[in-house]
Amino acid sequence: MTIGWRPGTAQRRGGTTMRPPFAPRWRGGMPKGRWMRVLCVCTGNRFRSPLLAHCFRQLRPHWDVRSAGTRCGTPDADAPKSWRACVDGWAEPHAARKLTPGDVAWADVVVVVQPSHERAVRELRQGASVVLVKLEDPAFRRVREWPELARHFVTAATGALEEIERVAQ
């Protein structure tokens, strides 16, 4: 008897079916919807993609969600903290990271916030499943406008769920 998980097999051990090591476990069964890996991409990975990732984690807790930027520059340490303060329940720390070919290969669906990001994703992996959710960069807006912009992001994330689930199939 093999102990562990092999792709393409369902193994039973001690009367229970073993899961792949990456599969989430849910009390009361799997939540509604399909488990998938979603990558959110923006330019600097400071404002838009981290907020989209946060929204998707809240709306679809069974999704594995990450974020990355096409060009991670020098981050402004205070701006992302102020941006996170505009969103209820967003307390998780965030460090900007650059988009890699491994990120794109990992994802079932890549959510981008402008067409140039889609081109960058396609350069890394031609057949990637990409969904475009156009979002304005808050870095170019006044700080007092951020709460309204954050509400718009949450609405856009909610509206994109169906498209993401459709593209992933």
Can you give the residue ranges of every domain in the chain? 34-168
Q: What is the model's pLDDT at position 88?
A: 62
Q: What is the model's pLDDT at position 146?
A: 78
Q: What is the model's pLDDT at position 148?
A: 84
Q: What is the model's pLDDT at position 92?
A: 67
Smallest Cα–Cα separation from 92: which of 58, 69, 133, 135?
Answer: 58
pLDDT-based confidence at residue 32 (cuts at 50, 70, 90): low
Q: What is the model's pLDDT at position 67?
A: 93
Q: pLDDT higher for 46 or 103?
A: 103
Q: Examine the pLDDT at 156 and tell me if it is beyond 80.
A: yes
Average pLDDT over the chain reads 76
Supply angle C-alpha 97, 90, 168, rounded to 5.
60
Identify residue 72 by its one-letter amino acid code: C
> How confident is the model over 85-130, as pLDDT tens digits?
666 666 666 778 899 999 999 999 999 999 999 999 999 999 899 9
Q: 55-76: string of b/e by CB count within 10 Å (b at 16+)?
A: bbbbebeebbbbbbbbebeeee
Contact 162, 144 (CB under 8 A): no
- Percent over 70 (pLDDT), the chain: 67
Q: What is the model's pLDDT at position 84?
A: 64
> How confident is the model over 127-153, as pLDDT tens digits?
899 999 988 887 777 777 878 888 888
Superfamily designation of domain 34-168? Response regulator (3.40.50.2300)
Please give the sequence-ordered ranges of beta strands (E in DSSP) within the chain, or none if there are none. Answer: 12-13, 16-17, 37-42, 64-69, 109-112, 130-132
